[in-house]
Structure formats: structure tokens, C-alpha cells
Amino acid sequence: MKGKGITFTYNDTNYECDLTSVVLLKDAGDSATTDSTLTFCDVGSAQATGDVWKMNITAIQSGDYTAEKALHQLLWDLAGTGGEMDFVFAPYGNADPSQDQPHYTGTVLVPAGGFPDVGGDAGENTWTFDYEFVVKDDEVKRVGTSGTPYSVKATK
């Protein structure tokens, strides 16, 4: 795999140039990311087990506030009320998905009040920030050669 190929899209603007690290993972949810009310349809599901899809990123801090503002600034704005961002993750760096080099797609949530960090160590040329997203509806789609997504829900 190559270390390139993530795209966040918000209002038709891509934010891959702000990112330095991306990890898509299935992880245990906390009380803020899981619903404690279960129905009979939820038994045995990710909602019942508490596992959720998450995306952890590291990105450059930037206060650029242009029409296509920096990802840090966009997250800051979205955290005021909460919002969503679509993503396409191509871990092989390929433009078109294939069966052996798929793309992963979904939507991440920016929670209200989930402001990104500001600051860093003295002497650093560029400060970065870490951010953890929860994937909306706990669904990541794996897109291969056919272009038809294969949905994967988180389960233990």
C-alpha cells in the first residue's frame, strides 16, 4: 500500500493536501457514539456490541479562511453545530478502484463541540492536530472493480 489516496469532500472541495496520516478502523464505541436503546433488530449487530467504524487523522493546522478553507478551519466551523463530511479512501493511491486495490467510502461525523486542537511544540515548522471521526451509520463501503459498493457494518 502507498501512503496516499484519501479524499475528504465537503461542498465539492477536496481536502487531501491537509492530511499527513489516515487510519480507518473498527473500534469499540463509547457512550457518546453508541445508542444504549436496543430493539430486537439490533441484537447481534454492531449497535449491540458497541463496535463502530472510526477514522483517525493527523492533519496540518492552518487558519486559511478562503472559499476553500483549510481542513482545520472547516472542522472548527462544523464543530460549532455539528456536521458531516464524505470521504473516499484509496490506500493504494489508485485513481480507479479494482478488486485487489479497492476504495473505501463513507461519511464521517463532526460532533457539535468537537473542535480540533490548536497549538504545538516550540521550534516545530508546522503544527499538526489529531482528530477522531465516527463513521455515520457505522457503514463503510468497499468499492472494487464492479463499482458496486460492498457495505461492511462493524461487528465484533
Question: Average pLDDT of 82-104?
Answer: 87
The confidence band for 92, taking pLDDT boundaries of 50, 70 and 90, is: confident
Q: Average of pLDDT values for 7-27?
A: 82
Q: What is the mean pLDDT of residues 54-74?
A: 87
- Domain ranges, ordered by start, for the chain: 6-153
10 pLDDT more than 90:
no
Q: Report d(CA 136, CA 68) in Å as an integer.
A: 24
pLDDT of 127 > 60? The answer is: yes
Does the pTM surpass 0.85? The reply is: no
Specify the pLDDT at position 44.
57
Residue 11 has pLDDT above 80, yes or no: no
Q: How confident is the model at residue 156 (pLDDT cuts 50, 70, 90)?
A: very low
Work out the average pLDDT over 4-27. Answer: 80
